[in-house]
């Protein structure tokens, strides 16, 4: 299966190792993938500081916020190392995001300190992986099997140790990206299946982000606080009202 058009989320926080983001990103984009940088807050939309070894590296801007997206919006995820994973690992939305990828068996590309996020998301037990040497004990203590190898493949995971392994890591990423992405049964038969809007009595579209919430409201989008504009609702943000009650707003 070709990589052309596949969507990859790059989960990035302050202190990311520059080469571990930009090199795989460049390799994926040259192969035709679309890489989207995902940050954790609105500040990331302005600047995410990078590092290059011990020196300050290139900064990037987030294109999406992790609370606004799900694994259904992407085909794979890239988690670079550096100090970024340690800053991100306790964020509940970050943990939710990576769990969704693993549950859907979508490709996950993790390098250097990236497994710290997997540890905090409680995904490592029983898995075989590698990472930066200093977190080998953390991986073992979380129930994982650590391998001191340039690249380790385990199911939908591709893990690597450090920037010196980037050439092999990029090659493994491209090979893994060519595999078919498993279908998520919870996503429905079509991305715009019309269902009943229990609260409003109007048809509502089951959608990913940037699709109109309601068939009766042209291009009305969900904002970052998940409050739909103009009395429109979407599947992610609406629950049926209790029996005998009509919810209005």
Q: Where are the beta strands (DSSP E) in the chain?
A: 7-11, 16-17, 34-39, 50-52, 55-56, 64-65, 76-79, 108-111, 128-129, 145-146, 151-154, 157-160, 194-196, 203-205
- Taking 60 as the threshold, does the pLDDT of residue 151 lie above it? yes
Instruction: Let me know whether 108 and 231 are in one domain.
Output: no
79-99 average pLDDT score: 97
- Looking up residue 100, the CATH number of its domain turns out to be 3.40.50.880
User: What mean pLDDT do residues 8-32 have?
Assistant: 96
The last residue of a domain, from among 157, 177, 197: 177
* β pairing state of 55-56 and 50-52: antiparallel
**How far apart (Å, rounded) are the C-alpha atoms in residues 67 and 95?**
11
pLDDT tens across 161-203, in order? Answer: 999 999 999 999 999 887 765 554 444 333 333 233 333 333 3
Look up 112 and say whether it is catalytic.
Answer: yes
Rounded to two decimals, what is the model's pTM? 0.73
* For range 217-224, the mean pLDDT: 36
CA atoms within 13 A on the CB side of 203: 9
Q: Give the structural domain span for 204.
A: 188-249
On the question of pLDDT at 62 being above 50, the answer is: yes
Q: Is residue 2 part of a domain?
A: no
Q: Please tell me the predicted confidence (pLDDT) of residue 4.
A: 87
Kindly tell me if the per-residue pLDDT of 135 is higher than 90: yes
Of the residues 87, 113, 213, 234, only one is catalytic, namely 113
What percentage of the chain carries pLDDT values higher than 90? 65
Q: How many domains does the chain have?
A: 2
| pLDDT value of position 219 | 33
Percent of the chain with pLDDT strictly greater than 70: 71
113 in catalytic set: yes
According to the model, what pLDDT value does residue 180 have?
A: 67
157 shares its domain with 197: no
pLDDT at 209: 40
| Model confidence at 204: pLDDT above 80 | no
Does one domain contain both 75 and 146?
A: yes
> In sequence order, what are the residues at sequence separation of 6 or more whose Cβ sits closer than 8 angstroms to the Cβ of residue 185?
none
In the prediction, which pLDDT does 181 show?
58
Residues 163 and 216 in one domain: no
- For residue 183, is it within any domain? no
pLDDT higher for 230 or 240? 240
Query: HSE-up of 88 (CA within 13 Å, CB side)?
Result: 37
Q: How many CB atoms lie within 10 A of CB 226?
A: 11
Which residue has better confidence, 150 or 233? 150
């Amino acid at each position: 299966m070709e990589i052309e058009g596949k969507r990859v989320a790059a989960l990035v926080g302050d202190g990311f190792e520059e080469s571990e983001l930009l090199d795989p990103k460049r390799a994926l984009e040259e192969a035709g993938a679309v890489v989207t940088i995902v940050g954790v807050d609105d500040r990331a939309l302005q600047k995410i500081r990078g590092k290059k070894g011990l020196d300050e590296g290139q900064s990037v801007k987030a294109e999406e916020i992790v609370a606004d997206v799900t694994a259904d919006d992407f085909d794979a995820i890239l988690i670079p190392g550096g100090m970024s994973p340690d800053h991100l690992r306790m964020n509940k939305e970050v943990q939710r995001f990576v769990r969704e990828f693993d549950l859907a068996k979508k490709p996950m590309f993790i390098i250097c300190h990236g497994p710290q996020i997997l540890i905090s998301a409680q995904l490592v037990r029983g898995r075989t992986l590698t990472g930066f040497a200093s977190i080998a004990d953390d991986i073992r203590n979380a129930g994982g099997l650590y391998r001191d190898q340039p690249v380790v493949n385990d199911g939908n995971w591709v893990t690597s140790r450090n920037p010196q392994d980037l050439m092999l890591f990029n090659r493994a990423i491209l090979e893994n990206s060519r595999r078919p992405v498993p279908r998520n049964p919870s996503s429905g038969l079509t991305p715009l299946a019309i269902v009943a809007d229990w609260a409003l009595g109007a048809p509502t579209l089951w959608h990913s982000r940037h699709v109109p919430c309601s068939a009766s409201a042209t291009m009305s989008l969900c904002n970052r606080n998940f409050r739909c504009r103009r009395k429109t609702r979407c599947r992610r943000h609406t629950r049926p009202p209790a029996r005998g009650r009509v919810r209005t707003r």
